[in-house]
Amino acid sequence: MKEKIVFELNSVYRDNMRIKGYSFGEGENSACIVGATRGNEVQQLYICSRLINIFKQLEHQGKIKYGKSVMVIPTVNSHSMNIGKRFWSTDNTDINRMFPGYNLGETTQRIAAGVFENISSYQYGIQFTSFYMQGDYIPHVRVMQTGFEDIELAKDFGLPYVFRRNARPYDTTTLNYNWQLWGAKAFSVYTSATDSIDIISAREAINAVLSFLNKQGIIQYRCHEGYISQFIEGHSLISVKSSTAGIFVRRANVDSRVKKGEIIAEIMDPYTGEIADRIIAPQNGIVFFHVNQPLIYSQTPLFRIIPTDDLV
Amino acid sequence: MIETVASVGLPIDEKLMVQKNRLIPENGLKGGEKRISIVTGTHGDELEGQYVCYELQRRIKENIGCLTGIVDVYPAINPLGIDSITRGIPGFDLDMNRIFPGSENGSMPEYIASNIIDDLSKSAAVIDIHASNIFLEEIPQVRINELSRDTLVPLAKLLNTDYIWVHSSATVLESTLAYSLNTTGTPTLVVEMGVGMRITKKFGDQLTDGIFALMKELGIWNGEVIDPKEPIISEDGEVSFINAGKSGVFAPCVEHWKNVKQDDHIGDILNPLTGEINERISAPTDGIVFTLREYPIVSEGSLIARILA
């Protein structure tokens, strides 16, 4: 294992921020794995730290294939993690909206540029990331529709779903998008948690990455190959919104099957405890996402459901 | 007449309401009147537009007989942000000016954004007023995406600002209110002035004068207006950026909106722990300092100044 400082930011009031990359094996830049870009992405940090531990053992056993190398960057934003802030500690900008970065620009542009310079040439790019709304997902691989995406390759992770969505204007400054533009096969892996550690879904994600790298001939690792992934597109999911605000009492979990007409949640009046609204499944399906906040606004998309007759 | 443009229930006995006030001629509408919309409060820490909303309406009401069209005033499209001194949308930590055009079926911020776009569409002109953030001070200026230059520069010249910056199209700007409206046929001018968390009355008065000039041009106002000042108009290539090379405390030694010569001393980045100067900042070119760092603490890369050559 080689530890490298990928980028260092000097500070007058704090210790310098050192972004560290851990490399395994010698040879071509085969795969790069990036964890937390936001300060609350604790699960993403945890997964990367576990992967580093496993790669260290694999390297020791000679199971990183000859001529291949893997790098893991557990976090590019330790300054925000250390003070419990999601975005950049001073100006609240999002490092994952700054790629490919600019080395003469503002602070987070420089961080993004310093990181990207070190990782843009990898053949495969894997990022553990999170959604801006607090909620739980079925573990899945997400790809953006850029024209360069590779759905069949994404199925090699063996996660239950491969999810593709259209790239929006603001996506063009994410790491995933820029990796693709620079020629990497890029994937974002979503697990069930962000600001807490969910060991079960973390283990699933770790296994998915190791399985993927094994299938690409980068490491030698015997593991369960996972699921035969199903491909779903963003527009095919059914969004179920709240019509009223209040206390959110959820009845359905991610990955559970729901029937049309079934009550999947209730919204309780926060003063009287009466049921202000019942959330009904509009169709048979599987819960792909649900919010996990106890207090919700009206107009909030509470669930995203995969219609069971719509799977490809 | 106060109208609610978007409303979302909050969990405990409260509604988030985006409101506007509509001013119409004293004898009512006959049909076919043009409409100007004044929008501000997208970022909860940018307050310069609050004074403009007040002052514009005060002057109109004093001379309501001169009003010949519709004036819609939206003082706070991110009301929770302004109330809680939060730049983004509280609860989501989202920059509201990165989610337009929004979506009727999206999350709360996207739903509100979608309603705002619907309400503003078909205005003869929209003025989207921003202050700078808390870090930088800006002279009154209109920023125009080069894609909309031909439509917007003639309107912007009436706004009585010191400067019009025609900038290149950046992908991140595609999710702004102005880009969404301009690309769907509603001319929208972005005004930047002053500094975050403050109100600079003289800038507010200057812009208000300009809005009346624009209203007159559009046929919305037939009262007396000023002769707008001739703004400097520039493109990206004429603007130099100065970013901090070191972190520390920035102490300027030039004034905002003053001429400098190449190599002039702009300021120093000080180290309060060692008592040393971490970096001496010099002007890279002759020009006018139209953006200047206001907040003293800087990190490597923090914007110190912009100079118009």
Gap between the Cα atoms of B39 and B75, Å rounded: 6
Burial tier of B30 (Cβ tally within 10 Å: 0-12, 13-18, 19+): exposed
What is the amino acid identity at position B158? L
Gap between the Cα atoms of B287 and A210, Å rounded: 56
The pLDDT of residue B172 is 58
Gap between the Cα atoms of B179 and B173, Å rounded: 7
Instruction: With CB atoms and an 8 Å threshold, state whether B107 touches A10.
Output: no
Q: Across residues A48-64, what is the average pLDDT? A: 98
Instruction: With CB atoms and an 8 Å threshold, state whether A12 touches B105.
Output: no
Task: Tell me how close the Cα of B195 comes to any Cα of chain A, in angstroms.
Answer: 15
Q: What is the DSSP string of B236-288?
A: GGGEEEEE-SS-EEEEE-S-TT-EE-TT-EEEEEEETTTTEEEEEEE-SSSEE
Task: Tell me how close the Cα of B99 comes to any Cα of chain A, in angstroms.
Answer: 8
Cβ A290 vs Cβ A136: under 8 Å: yes
ipTM: 0.83
B93 contacts on A by Cβ (under 8 Å): 86-87, 92, 132
A301 contacts on B by Cβ (under 8 Å): 105-107
The beta strands (E) that lie in B132-173 are given as 136-145, 163-167
Number of helices (H) and strands (E), helices first, in chain B?
A: 6, 17
- Same domain for B152 and B83: yes
Compute CA distances B239 → A68, B204, B301, whole Å.
45, 25, 17
Helix pair angle (B48-62, B201-218), 10° resolution: 50
Is omega for the bond preceding B101 within 30 degrees of 0, making it cis?
Answer: yes
pLDDT of residue A312 exceeding 50 = no
Helix, strand, coil percentages, rounded to 5, for chain A: 25, 35, 40
Domain of residue B299 covers 237-308
- Same domain for B149 and B252: no
Domain end point (choices B213, B230, B247): B230
3-state secondary structure of A275: strand
- Same domain for B267 and B212: no
- Same domain for B282 and B148: no
Which residue of chain A has the CA closest to B174?
A: A169
Instruction: With CB atoms and an 8 Å threshold, state whether A295 touches B11.
Output: yes
The pLDDT of residue B93 is 81
Q: How many domains does chain B have?
A: 2
Global pTM?
Answer: 0.89
- Same domain for B168 and B47: yes
- Look up the CATH number of domain A237-310: 2.40.50.100
Q: Across residues A137-155, what is the average pLDDT? A: 92
Domain residue ranges of chain A, discontinuous segments joined by + = 2-232, 237-310
Tens digits of residue pLDDT in A244-257: 999 999 999 999 99
Q: Across residues A124-137, what is the average pLDDT? A: 89
Which residue of chain B has the CA closest to A90?
A: B299
Query: CB A114: neighbour CB atoms within 10 A?
Result: 18
B301 touches chain A (CB under 8 A): yes
Which residue of chain A has the CA closest to B135?
A: A91
In the A/B pair of chains, how many CB contacts fall below 8 A? Answer: 105
Q: Which helix (H) or strand (E) holds A152?
A: helix A151-154
B 227-266 → A contacts, CB under 8 A = 241, 243, 246-249
Lookup result for tokens 């926060």 = A270
Instruction: With CB atoms and an 8 Å threshold, state whether A170 touches B107.
Output: no
The pLDDT of residue B174 is 81
pLDDT of residue A310 exceeding 70 = no
B278 touches chain A (CB under 8 A): yes
B9 contacts on A by Cβ (under 8 Å): 244-246, 297-299
The pLDDT of residue A311 is 45
Q: Per the structure block, which two tokens stand in for A2?
A: 């080689």
What sign for the dihedral angle of Cα B108, B109, B113, B116? positive
CATH code (residue B274): 2.40.50.100
Task: Tell me how close the Cα of B176 comes to any Cα of chain A, in angstroms.
Answer: 10
* Pairing between β-strand A257-258 and β-strand A238-241 as defined by DSSP bridges: unpaired
Cβ B228 vs Cβ B212: under 8 Å: no
The pLDDT of residue A172 is 86
> At A131, is the pLDDT very low, low, confident or very high (cuts 50, 70, 90)?
confident
A11 contacts on B by Cβ (under 8 Å): 247, 299
Cβ contacts of B248 within 8 Å, gap of 6 or more: A12, B269, B270, B271, B272, B278, B279, B297, B298
Instruction: With CB atoms and an 8 Å threshold, state whether B11 touches A104.
Output: no
- Look up the CATH number of domain A2-232: 3.40.630.10
Which runs of consecutive H residues, i.e. helices, occur in A191-259? 199-215
Of A107, A299, A300, the CB nearest to B302: A107
Cα(first)–Cα(last) distance of chain B, in Å? 46
Q: Which helix (H) or strand (E) holds A19?
A: strand A17-24
Which residue of chain A has the CA closest to B112?
A: A299
Task: Tell me how close the Cα of B63 comes to any Cα of chain A, in angstroms.
Answer: 41
Q: What is the pLDDT along chain B (309 residues), one digit of tens a residue?
A: 999 999 999 999 999 999 999 999 999 999 999 999 999 999 999 999 999 999 999 999 999 999 999 999 999 999 999 999 999 999 888 899 989 999 988 889 999 999 999 999 999 999 999 998 899 999 999 999 999 999 999 999 999 999 999 988 665 578 899 999 999 999 999 999 999 999 999 999 999 999 999 999 999 999 999 999 999 999 877 899 999 999 999 999 999 999 999 999 999 999 999 999 999 999 999 999 999 999 999 999 999 999 999
CATH code (residue B38): 3.40.630.10
Cβ A120 vs Cβ A179: under 8 Å: yes
Of B8, B172, B300, the CB nearest to A299: B8
Instruction: With CB atoms and an 8 Å threshold, state whether B106 touches A301.
Output: yes
- Same domain for B187 and B266: no
Q: Which of B299, B303, B304 to mutate to test the interface with A (most CBs of A within 10 A)?
A: B299
Instruction: With CB atoms and an 8 Å threshold, state whether B108 touches A297.
Output: yes
Of A132, A245, A271, the CB nearest to B9: A245
Q: Return phi, psi of residue A79, to 5°.
A: -60, -40
Tens digits of residue pLDDT in A2-22: 999 999 999 888 899 999 999
Which runs of consecutive H residues, i.e. helices, occur in A170-309? 175-181, 199-215
Cβ B192 vs Cβ B290: under 8 Å: no
Instruction: With CB atoms and an 8 Å threshold, state whether B246 touches A169.
Output: no
Average pLDDT of chain A to the nearest whole number: 94
Domain end point (choices B184, B211, B230): B230
Cβ B125 vs Cβ B144: under 8 Å: no
Compute CA distances A289 → A44, A168, A171, B252, B296, whole Å.
18, 20, 20, 50, 43
Q: Across residues A176-195, what is the average pLDDT? A: 93
The pLDDT of residue B171 is 57
